[in-house]
Amino acid sequence: MGQRIPEQYQHLRTFAFGDSPALADELVELVVKGIKTATCSTEDEPNTSTPGERWVVLDGRGEPRCVIETIEVTYRRFNEVDDAFAYDEGEGNRSLAHWRRAHQSYFGRLGRYSDDMMLMCERFRLVEVFGDAGNDR
């Protein structure tokens, strides 16, 4: 096992982005680089967050990579997500068109997609990067 969660963060909940190790690695890298500052999930996702809450983000191997803090949570339908939120999610070319394609595919894999599905849309800030990841920031 590689990186341990620093003591001051051991009480926090942990999660990994996405639905595969490869996607978890790709998305946590975007967070560590400061590109990804938002995420969304289905409204009934068990990992709902509240502003001020901090989370330890894991990579695809379950290793802790960083801590994020929720700064905003809003609820909106899939077809109501706007350009600004898509840009803040930081994926692909950061366009709304790319966001829609990627998330339709993701929620489709989960068997949950519909154009008017309700999403929990969360913005967050990077608090700390663990280990030597991100020392070039």
pLDDT in tens, 7-35: 999 999 999 999 999 999 999 999 999 99
pLDDT in tens, 67-115: 999 999 999 999 999 999 999 999 999 999 999 999 999 999 999 999 9
Q: Taking the model in full, what pTM does it have?
A: 0.90
Write down the residue that tokens 């009480």 correspond to. 11
What pLDDT shows up at residue 2?
A: 62
**What is the amino acid identity at position 67?**
V
First to last CA, the chain: 25
